[in-house]
């Protein structure tokens, strides 16, 4: 972990003893991996971590009095959704060693891309009567670390909603609809929404069981994935700004579409694929069907 140069005194690294994050699943607890390739937006995350702080040394090494209130805070940030928020905040007012159990639950619909978990020891209240070199402002960071978890797998991920299509402008009997909005610079999370018709029980049940799908669910999910990939590629190729040398921000719709294009059609130029799609749309659809390996379920 790199150490930032702070404009005030801060405690040494050994004042805080921090365990790794633990991922809590239906099958038990495991050390948080680097990536969750099977994650989707319906999968909420439950994470735990134990942190031990020698609050007396933390105060003294920071030039703070013995009664200075400290706090341990955890904050999450998701690059795919451009969302962030507080995960936990524990006030530390005693002496000796304080043991804090961080236990956080994050909604999958808020996440995506790279999940960043920041843990920090901060000054809980403003101090006016401290030494000139001591932290004064509430929220001054005395110690921090960051862990990350990649949530994007090999398949494109979408925010998902199960609704009754009879209450919308979509055909009552349609099984799903991929809604695309915003430009290529827009965040993927805010630009894509996969709508599933609750009246189509075969499809809605497949998504409900996506974590542990039956063979029939895998077939349905494969069909949705293939159709979504085709819809995304057709949308991308319809945009003049979607070209071979284009650069898009991380987590943007353009970056997602470019990544999907490279994954499905490696080594192909966007110009050539766009020409093929316009000259022979049905053959292009078959190209994508082959690329996504439709119905090749494990």
> For residue 124, which of 148, 102, 93, 151 has the smallest C-alpha distance?
93
CA atoms of 15 and 109, how far apart (whole Å): 36
CATH number of 13-150: 2.60.40.10
> For residue 192, which of 281, 270, 255 has the smallest C-alpha distance?
255
pLDDT at 2: 46
Q: Based on C-alpha coordinates, what's the Rg of the chain?
A: 24
Cβ distance 69 to 91 under 8 Å? yes
Write out the chain's pLDDT in tens, 298 residues. Answer: 445 567 788 888 889 999 999 999 888 899 999 888 667 767 889 999 999 999 999 999 988 888 888 999 999 998 766 678 999 999 988 888 999 999 999 988 778 778 999 999 999 888 876 677 878 888 889 999 999 998 854 444 567 788 999 988 999 999 999 999 989 998 887 788 889 999 999 999 988 887 678 899 889 989 998 999 999 999 999 999 999 999 998 778 999 899 899 989 999 999 999 999 999 999 999 999 999 989 875 5
CA atoms of 176 and 161, how far apart (whole Å): 10
Per-position b or e across 180-212, b if 16+ CB within 10 A of its CB: beeebebbbbebbbbbbbeebeebbbbbeebee
CA atoms of 284 and 273, how far apart (whole Å): 8
CA atoms of 246 and 243, how far apart (whole Å): 5
Cβ distance 195 to 150 under 8 Å? no
Residue 76 is encoded by which pair of tokens? 């999450």
Domain ranges across the chain: 13-150, 160-291
């Amino acid at each position: 972990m790199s150490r930032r140069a702070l404009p005030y005194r801060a405690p040494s690294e050994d004042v805080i003893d921090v365990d790794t994050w633990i991922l809590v699943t239906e099958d038990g607890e495991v050390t948080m991996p680097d990536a969750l390739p099977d994650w989707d937006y319906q999968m909420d995350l439950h994470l735990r971590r134990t942190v031990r702080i020698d609050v007396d040394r933390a105060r003294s090494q920071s030039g703070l009095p013995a009664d200075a209130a400290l706090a341990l805070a955890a904050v999450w940030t998701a690059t795919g959704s451009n969302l962030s928020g507080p995960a936990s905040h524990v006030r530390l007012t005693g002496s000796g060693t304080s043991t804090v159990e961080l236990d956080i639950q994050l909604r999958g619909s808020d996440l995506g891309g790279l999940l960043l978990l920041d843990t920090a020891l901060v000054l809980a209240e403003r101090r006016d009567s401290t030494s000139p070199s001591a932290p004064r402002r509430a929220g001054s960071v005395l110690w921090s670390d960051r862990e990350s978890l990649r949530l994007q797998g090999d398949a494109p991920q979408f925010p998902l909603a199960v609704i009754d299509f009879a209450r919308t402008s979509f055909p009552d009997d349609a099984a799903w609809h991929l809604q695309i909005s915003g430009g290529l610079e827009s965040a993927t999370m805010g630009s894509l929404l996969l709508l599933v018709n609750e009246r189509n029980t075969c499809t809605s049940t497949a998504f409900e069981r996506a974590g542990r799908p039956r063979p029939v669910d895998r077939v349905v999910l494969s069909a949705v994935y293939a159709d979504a990939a085709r819809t995304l590629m057709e949308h991308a190729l319809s945009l003049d700004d979607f070209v071979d040398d284009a650069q898009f921000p991380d987590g943007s719709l353009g970056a997602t579409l470019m990544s999907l294009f490279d994954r499905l059609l490696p080594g192909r130029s966007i110009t050539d694929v766009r020409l093929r799609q316009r000259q022979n749309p049905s053959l292009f659809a078959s190209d994508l069907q082959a690329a996504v390996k439709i119905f090749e379920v494990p």
